[in-house]
Structures are given as C-alpha cells and as structure tokens.
Amino acid sequence: MTVETATPTPAEALATYHSRREQAVVQPKGNLALVNTQWVDSEQTIWEVPGIWAPVEGGLSVTAVAADGIIVDGTPVEGTVTVRAKNQPEPSEIDFGGTRTGFVIAGENGSYALRVWDSNSSGIQEFGSIDAFGYNPDWVITAQWSENPAGTTLGFEHLKDNGQTREEVIPGSITFAKDGIDYDLAAFKAGRALQLVFADATSGDSTYSVGRFLFLAPNPDGTITLDFNRAVLPPCAFSYNFNCPMPPKQNRFAVAIEAGEKNVLKKDGSLLH
C-alpha cells in the first residue's frame, strides 16, 4: 500500500526552515558559538586561549607546553607547531579542551586570524529565538537573471573595515519590477549559491540594522526566484566577532520587506544585541 505524503504549504515549509535555522545557530560552530576572531600580525597571545601565536606561511604557529592543553589535528602541542588555515588543502582543527575549539581563517593580503568557538558561549546560553515575519506571498519574486562579463566585480564595504571596500565577483544581474519600481540587484558568489546582501525600510526599525542575506540560485529558464521569506540575519547579528558585508547602494530598498528573519532574541524576548 502506498502512503501519500501531503505536500507542505509554503507557510509549513517556512516553519520547518525556521526551526532548522534556530537549531543551526546553537551548534558548536554555529553563529552563536563564535567568541573571538583575532588577527595575528606578530607574535602575541590571544584572548582567553593559551599559547603564543604568530603568522607563518599558510596559517599561524602556536607555541605551548603540554599543560596548556592545546590539541592540533589530534596531537597535543609541546613546542611549536603550524596551524594550517581554512584556505589550505588540509586545514587544521584546534581543540582547547572543555567546550572551546578553533581554526584559522585567511584574510586579505596574506593575513591570518584565529577563530575561537565555545559550544557553551554566553550567546548560546542566552538565546531564545530568531524573531521572524509570518509567511508573506507578496515577497516571492520571479526576476530575470543576466550573466555579466567574466571578471565583473563590485566593492562591498564590511562592518569592521572602516569604510574600505572588498571587490567581490558579481556573476550576473538580477532585475525585476515591483509596484512600479525597477530593481537591478547585485549578488556575489557564496560557494555554489549567490548571496544577496540587502537592506530595506525595516532595517534598524523592526529588523536588524545592518541588513539581511538571501541565498539564491538561477533557474534553468533564465529566471531567478527571490523568496524573501527565506531572508536570514547575517552572522554579525549573533556575534560581534563576525565581520559582515554591508548592502551596496543598489541593494537598499526604500520599501519595507516584511518577510524573513527580523532579530535575535534572548529567552526573555529582549534583543540579544
């Protein structure tokens, strides 16, 4: 006997998506677990973890004794070892003991930083929920996707970069009209997806001030679907230790997009940040 499974409604599918988002941010390396991102440009200590850290080719070195309890790639550190960054073929994993782990990220111009994660961080302990709008069919948009010439870039300012911009490859343009307004949006590559960084009239009012993210993929027929009900808060809404891109001018909507995630809330319902 074949049992037919009912196709969930868009609102039901969104509820499942939202529940999984709330589960993801409290994971050991979820957004709420990041407690430090420290750039290393000379020999130095790092806040709340042991060892002496220094930049080396491909990552960082750490100098420690066995009593410090640092384990890199499964081996306790006694002396000086290299910790390979995430952009290397075989990146290293760090265990600081207890609830803290870490890895090294690569930045601009060959710089490196240590990221420290705590599966029992204050953010995880205080987390209550991700506040979100209810499902809004008005903000499911079918737009046109047009590929850009190879190498097309756009400068994105990041929250902690003091007004400097980073050039991101923009594979194509996203165009549509809504309520008499023409839009031409820019999204950059994020793994296999496109990442749209946007702000709207709710930003800083009913939603997080910096803006929100929407992850997209072009359709085979040359269109691209923008379901703003799946708009998510950027990592910096969960931890100040992330440095998030900010919306470029063309991705700033004058209207209110009342769809998607709004803010991170504590258990008592107040804002986490």
Residue 154 contacts residue 167 (beta carbons within 8 Å): yes
- Cross-strand bridge partners of residue 185: 174
Three-state secondary structure readout of 184-250: EEEEEEECCEEEEEEECCCECCCECCCCEEEEECECCCCEEEEEHHHCECCHHHCCCCCCCECCCHH
| Residues 240 and 136 both lie in one domain | yes
* Percent over 90 (pLDDT), the chain: 90
| 209-264: pLDDT as tens digits | 999 999 999 999 999 999 999 999 999 999 999 999 999 999 999 999 999 999 99
Whether 14 maps to a domain, the answer reads no
Q: Are residues 82 and 150 located together in one domain of the fold? A: no
Helix, strand, coil proportions of the chain in percent (round to 5)?
15, 45, 40
Same domain, yes or no: 67 and 142: no
Residues 75 and 177 in one domain: no
Do the domain assignments include residue 247?
yes
Mean pLDDT of 123-127: 98
- 217: Cα separation from own chain's centroid: 17
Tokens 């000086």 -> residue: 80
pLDDT (0 to 100) of residue 48:
87
pLDDT at 3: 61
Percent of the chain with pLDDT over 70: 99
Alpha-carbon dihedral 116, 198, 250, 13, rounded to 10 degrees: 130
Judgement on whether residues 55 and 159 belong to the same structural domain of the protein: no
Q: Quick check: 2 pLDDT over 70?
A: no
Reported as a pLDDT band with limits 50, 70 and 90, residue 59 is: very high
pLDDT of residue 273: 84
* Residue 5: predicted pLDDT: 72
Both tokens assigned to 101: 């782990």
Q: What is the mean pLDDT of residues 1-8?
A: 74
Q: What is the pLDDT of residues 64-114, one digit of tens each?
A: 999 999 999 999 999 999 999 999 999 999 999 999 999 999 997 889 999
Q: How many domains does the chain have?
A: 2
Any idea which of 180-184, 189-193, 246-250 has the lowest mean pLDDT? Answer: 189-193
Domain encompassing residue 165: 128-266
